[in-house]
Amino acid sequence: MEKYMLIFHGDPSRMPASPEEMQNNMNKWMAWIDKLGKSGQYVSGEPLMPGGKLVSGAGKKVIDGPYTEGKEIVGGYFIINAKDIDEAVMIAKDCPDYEIGSSVQVRQVMKMDM
C-alpha cells in the first residue's frame, strides 16, 4: 500500500448554512471516515481553520491567507492508504462535498529514507 493525500478544495460561500444542513453534511463526512477506517484506508485527516499566513521568497514575505486565486480555499486533508493512484482517485470520488461544488486533489506521498 502507498500513502496518498486527499486535499479538499471548496468555495466557502457554497458551504451548508443552516445548522441542519451543517449537521447533515458532517454526518456524511463521519460516515465516509468510518467506512474508510473499517477498510484500513483511512490514516489521518483534519479540517483546516480559515485564514492563516503564507511565508514566501528569500525575503520571507508574510501575507494573510487564504492563498489560492478566486473563491476556492483548501478546507482540509486526509492521508489514506491505497494500492495505486487509481484506487486513491476512486476513494476521492466518495467525498460528500461534490454536490456543493468542491474538488479533491489526489497526491501520492513520497517515501523518504531517514
CATH code: domain of residue 70: 3.30.70.1060
In which residue ranges of the chain is pLDDT below 70? 66-71
Residue 58 is predicted with a pLDDT of 94
Structural domain range at position 97: 2-108
In a domain, 44, yes or no: yes
Contacts of 103 (CB under 8 A, 6+ apart): 8, 9, 10, 72
Indicate the Cα dihedral angle 9, 2, 112, 75, nearest 10°. Answer: 10
**49 contact partners, CB below 8 Å, separation of at least 6:** none
Q: How many domains does the chain have?
A: 1
**Nearest C-alpha neighbor of 103 from the set 93, 111, 112, 113:** 93
- Classify residue 114: in a domain, yes or no: no
Q: Is residue 113 part of a domain?
A: no
Instruction: Give the Cα separation of 86 and 69 in Å (integer).
Output: 28
What is the pLDDT at residue 70?
Answer: 58
